[in-house]
Structure 1
């Protein structure tokens, strides 16, 4: 196990204790980012998207607002769920929710931090860097007996200029062109059964040829839902050949789980990281794109 690994941007991960001590900070913009995927069979779609608003209304971290990823922050014209809007459009949407210069954003979710890391990666892609993910999310907050409230928080609209970072999100062409390229490591963040092709959830079962598997769930402690240690995360990525000298392409089912991998790779100091936004929701249904199993 690598002993020298560390998280390079510790301010981007905050603990429940830190948040509890800083709830009164007027610069904080705290958001519950929870979304649920209700997996279905016989419907022609891999899952039904359900926002977490009902759970938010039943109880949330005091002072936090709710972000509906699909309903408020995704491209409504896309045939795929959760696709990124244009940078200026996305910045305007975040600004309407109270995110702007001089604010510090804290993102949390329930059941998995991948919903918080997705929004963190989106913010980074438009040039907003003062955001952090709550380690352990709402589940740990509640397990520790910390206070909750049911009153809705709405932040005053702010001003946020987009400063887009190119290359944080890519499409199928970039992924296809990287097949067989030894300078690129393509990582699938889905569960092993999906990677191996034992589960046809997204259409044609299988994976992008040559891609390796680091499931997002393997990067999180199953009990506390906190991120694995830097040493554990580094070992997982290094074990599949994800060297820092390579460009890293990440995909999953719809660009969500891949951002958890991306977030920790960024924390580990990897420089060239991109998420395939449509992921297997597109790739598995496009017969012109290669796929492999086993």
Structure 2
């Protein structure tokens, strides 16, 4: 604990205002990087965390379980067809149980050469409450499964439910991860301090996130699409002055529904129509670009 009256602090990064930072470009002289994050998740039947679409006593019912399962059986495929049609790159944060339970999904992702992130084993289990040894084993087990099937280790991680312990950033950096999407405080990537070096904090959306917007905030599908379009248009204008990252987070069991897909298509078509002005990319590519910038460009690069 700090001195009386002192504010508790995480100690991972120092304050930095976005207007005070050096200006740099993304590849091709672009200033707005756009990426789509797909949450490819599986859940335990009748156990662990459920979904906020029902009262707590029904969160693990067969109806809620099957509501989630719709995404892997139907919604994922509709979304992938849409991404193919619009020629959009995609990143997938992956519960590794998908390899066993939904192998066709991995075949489609692999054929498309999309990026894969570590994302725990299932989304019924949070990460933050584990002991240090348990959390280290979870990270290594998930990483090893992805490496076994894909031939390479993932460079990015997003914790199930964004659930962190005080050791998560340290353990990820020590396991070889270059960036994480668990911290959501900025529109630019910034470096975080770990006990063995540094790890990049990649912008990730809390609001341009269908689970939060549609389930928690109860926006309509049209309102969610309008939010994506409005954010994109404003950030494109703001990016004339500085580089920005615009992420979109999607869950196939939500926006893979027909009426929601129709509105999402409208938003993504708007973004795709401006592809000459933006960098349509993946977070791993953003991370590699940041690593190649001169020292002193990105907050925390002296950690």
TM over 0.5: no
* TM-score normalised by structure 2 residue count: 0.27
* TM-score normalised by structure 1 residue count: 0.28
Higher helix share: 2
Q: Pick 1 or 2: higher relative contact order, CA cutoff 8 A, min separation 6.
A: 2
